[in-house]
């Protein structure tokens, strides 16, 4: 099958406007005749459901949580990007576009990214109108901060709770439409299959997670806003319930999957403390605005710190290696996530990790506290030489900026990060791979759309910080509501889709048979046994460092584990009740299939891209070469000169298209 991305012709800056002017529309009276299913109610799904209902479509929204408010988008901390240039530091639509493409190792679709940058400014206006309490400066204007991989401040934030506040905005918009009867909300329902009728997505099979009832739901189009699949690694920063099931079922019904091995390794997570853990905790990238990352220069100091005979605060400045500042002087601690993650792993692999497992580096706020304290003392006319006063004033500034994050760290680690440096280590966070979509966000199955993290289109091999919320809301508020009309304009005379069609019956039988097998299997091992084994295979052989031999081993091991799962998993309880173990079993079954595809994708990619690198690149010498390339790109980034980007065919493997010429102008 030849993939047609349907990217409009013409200059990048004109594509979206041109496309909106030329695509088909559905008039307001006819929208009342069309049903749309939206699966997932995070920022992408919630904003899409609210906007489609506002336009007049009849929307059915599904989430497996007890409320849309509990979607995993609520966990996002640091902020959302937008090219507003409120700081007057030279930001623009083009620069947001270029930073995103460059940050993704030149492996994203440029037309989608440019559109994302274009609509980013509208997102902020929309959310402010909804009452989202973005941080403001002393004069009342919206404040910004920097995130990794950029040289400007374009990240809007609400303390360390940006995702929560944005989700409440989308949730309020949804609630208005629920009240009007335009959205029918199905909480505690999980999509278990897509129904294809005459080659088009015409509905879903869902399970009521409370009663166990299997339900058929029809619509003229289905939209997946179901997030990413980071939990294939078992330990990740994702919520425990986050899964790949909806996207994977769509894939098994014919929707192509793209770039499955591109996962985001976030550099600032609380390190793993043992085998007892069920998830990892993210510390926002915003902390890298003020925190300095370092390890000891000398291994004797590393050993003393691990033995607890030396405190990190007692180590002299000249004995510390601020390795990001040393390697990347232009960006310092705000390099992109993949660069920071690789560098932390390289230092720890070289023996400089500072915790008991040797897998942690320091994130230190002492310099920021001192800097802010002196500034405040100067402003207030107080003694700048009083170290105790300066420290108190500085801590108060940091507390106002990052207080909830510091509190969270202290509760988990039982150390005061105001007094001793945080310990961090890279962890699986976000997935750039996902369901393949064209410029309209439609998958290879007509009538089936994927938005937000569920699709692959906007981030390439690495996502820059604060771009996840931007993509989710861009897709849901400003892209899908335009593009879906182009498809639905042919359905204004179709009428309601019957759930009595044989395709619905066959899909329901497929779901029921799988559930019955899991319930009646009577194996000897619980679901988590298989999930943990899968996670260790994925992290050890398909994680940050990869090689051909390890990936081949992973493919075989996952295949064997999948067979063992279906033969020996034990799921207690029954199918016609609230049964979380049964729901988990279905999700792990899908992770086992995805994991094998993930490893196969990684095997054929002999490149190092994003947070993942082939073994020959994991030495400091290998990193030096990548560092040279990164600094070369930075050097011409903002000169305004047209630059042809050299892209090899394998860089665009998701397209299967002969690339003759590409440029970023």
Q: What is the 3-state secondary structure (H, E, C) of 386-442?
A: CHHHHHHHHHHHHHHHHHHHHHHHHHHHCCCCCCCCEEEEEEEEEECCEECCCCCCE
For residue 455, give the nearest of 487, 488, 431, 480 by alpha carbon. Answer: 431
Measure the CA–CA gap between 228 and 247, rounded to whole angstroms. Answer: 9
Is 207 designated active site?
no
Measure the CA–CA gap between 619 and 349, rounded to whole angstroms. Answer: 9
Measure the CA–CA gap between 171 and 615, rounded to whole angstroms. Answer: 45
Q: Which two tokens stand for residue 410?
A: 């202290």
Measure the CA–CA gap between 315 and 193, rounded to whole angstroms. Answer: 57
Burial class (CB in 10 A: 0-12, 13-18, 19+), 23: middle
Whether residue 384 contacts residue 374, with contact meaning beta carbons closer than 8 Å, is answered with: yes
Measure the CA–CA gap between 661 and 647, rounded to whole angstroms. Answer: 8
Measure the CA–CA gap between 465 and 456, rounded to whole angstroms. Answer: 16
**337, 587, 605, 614: the active-site residue:** 337
Whether residue 281 contacts residue 236, with contact meaning beta carbons closer than 8 Å, is answered with: no
For residue 49, give the nearest of 436, 449, 493 by alpha carbon. Answer: 449
Burial class (CB in 10 A: 0-12, 13-18, 19+), 280: buried
Measure the CA–CA gap between 563 and 561, rounded to whole angstroms. Answer: 5
For residue 82, give the nearest of 97, 104, 103, 67 by alpha carbon. Answer: 97
Strands, E assignment, 173-296:
183-186, 189-197, 200-208, 214-218, 221-224, 257-258, 263-269, 292-296
For residue 362, give the nearest of 399, 389, 323, 330 by alpha carbon. Answer: 323
Measure the CA–CA gap between 340 and 147, rounded to whole angstroms. Answer: 12
Buried b (16+ CB within 10 A) or exposed e, 642-656: eeeeeeeeebbbbbe
Whose structure tokens read 């078992």? 234
Measure the CA–CA gap between 400 and 549, rounded to whole angstroms. Answer: 49
Residues assigned a catalytic role:
337
């Amino acid at each position: 099958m030849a993939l047609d991305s349907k990217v409009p012709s013409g200059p990048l800056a004109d594509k979206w406007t041109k496309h909106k002017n030329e695509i088909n529309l559905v008039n307001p009276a006819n929208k009342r005749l069309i049903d749309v299913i939206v699966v997932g109610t995070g920022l992408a799904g919630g904003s899409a459901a609210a906007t489609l209902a506002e336009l007049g479509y009849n929307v059915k929204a599904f989430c497996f949580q007890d409320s849309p408010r509990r979607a995993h988008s609520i966990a996002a901390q640091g902020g959302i990007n937008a090219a507003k240039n409120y700081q007057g530091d030279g930001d623009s639509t083009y620069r947001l576009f270029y930073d995103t493409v460059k940050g993704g190792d030149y492996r994203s679709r440029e037309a989608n990214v440019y559109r994302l940058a274009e609509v980013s400014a509208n997102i902020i206006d929309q959310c402010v109108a909804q009452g989202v309490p973005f941080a403001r400066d002393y004069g009342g204007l919206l404040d910004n901060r920097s995130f990794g991989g950029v040289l400007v401040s374009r990240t809007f934030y609400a303390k360390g709770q940006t995702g929560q506040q944005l989700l409440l905005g989308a949730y309020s918009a949804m609630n208005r439409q629920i009240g009007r009867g335009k959205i029918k909300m199905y909480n505690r329902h999980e999509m278990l299959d897509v129904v294809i009728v005459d080659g088009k997505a015409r509905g879903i099979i869902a399970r009521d997670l409370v009663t166990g009832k299997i339900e058929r739901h029809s619509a003229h189009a289905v939209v997946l806003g179901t997030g990413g699949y980071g939990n294939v690694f078992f330990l990740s920063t994702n919520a425990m319930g986050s899964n790949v099931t909806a996207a994977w079922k769509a894939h098994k019904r014919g929707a192509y999957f793209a770039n499955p091995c591109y996962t985001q390794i976030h550099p600032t997570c609380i390190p793993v403390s043992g085998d007892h853990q069920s998830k990892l905790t993210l510390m926002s990238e915003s902390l890298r605005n003020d925190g300095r990352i370092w390890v000891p220069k000398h291994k004797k100091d590393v050993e003393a710190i691990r033995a607890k005979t030396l405190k990190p605060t007692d180590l002299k400045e000249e004995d510390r290696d601020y390795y990001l500042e040393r390697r990347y002087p232009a960006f310092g601690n705000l390099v992109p996530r993949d660069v920071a993650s690789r560098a932390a792993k390289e230092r720890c692999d070289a023996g400089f990790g500072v915790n008991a497992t040797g897998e942690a580096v320091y994130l230190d706020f002492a310099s920021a506290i001192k800097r802010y304290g002196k500034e405040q003392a100067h402003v207030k006319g107080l003694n700048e030489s009083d170290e105790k006063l300066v420290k108190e004033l500085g801590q108060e500034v940091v507390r106002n900026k990052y207080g909830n994050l510091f509190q969270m760290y202290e509760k988990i680690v039982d150390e005061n990060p105001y007094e001793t440096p945080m310990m961090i280590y890279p962890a699986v966070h976000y997935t750039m791979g996902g369901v393949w979509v064209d410029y309209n966000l439609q998958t290879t199955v007509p009538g089936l759309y994927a938005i937000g993290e569920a699709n692959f289109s906007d981030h390439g091999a690495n996502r820059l910080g604060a771009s996840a919320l931007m993509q989710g809301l861009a897709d849901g508020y400003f892209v899908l509501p335009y593009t879906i009309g182009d498809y639905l304009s042919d359905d204004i005379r179709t009428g309601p889709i019957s759930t009595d069609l044989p395709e619905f019956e066959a899909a329901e039988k497929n779901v029921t048979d799988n559930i019955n097998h899991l319930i009646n299997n009577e194996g000897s091992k619980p679901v988590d046994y298989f999930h943990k084994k899968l996670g260790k295979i994925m992290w050890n052989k398909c994680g940050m460092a990869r090689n051909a031999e390890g990936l081949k081993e992973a493919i075989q091991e996952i295949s064997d584990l999948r067979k063992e799962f279906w033969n020996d998993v034990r799921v207690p309880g029954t199918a016609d009740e609230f049964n979380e173990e049964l729901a988990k079993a279905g999700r792990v079954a899908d992770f086992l299939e995805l994991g094998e595809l993930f490893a196969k994708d990684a095997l054929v990619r002999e490149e190092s891209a994003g947070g993942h690198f082939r073994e020959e690149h994991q030495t400091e010498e290998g990193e030096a070469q990548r560092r040279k390339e990164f600094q070369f790109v930075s050097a011409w980034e903002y000169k305004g000169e047209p630059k042809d980007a050299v892209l090899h065919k394998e860089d665009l493997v998701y397209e299967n298209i002969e690339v003759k010429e590409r440029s970023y102008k």
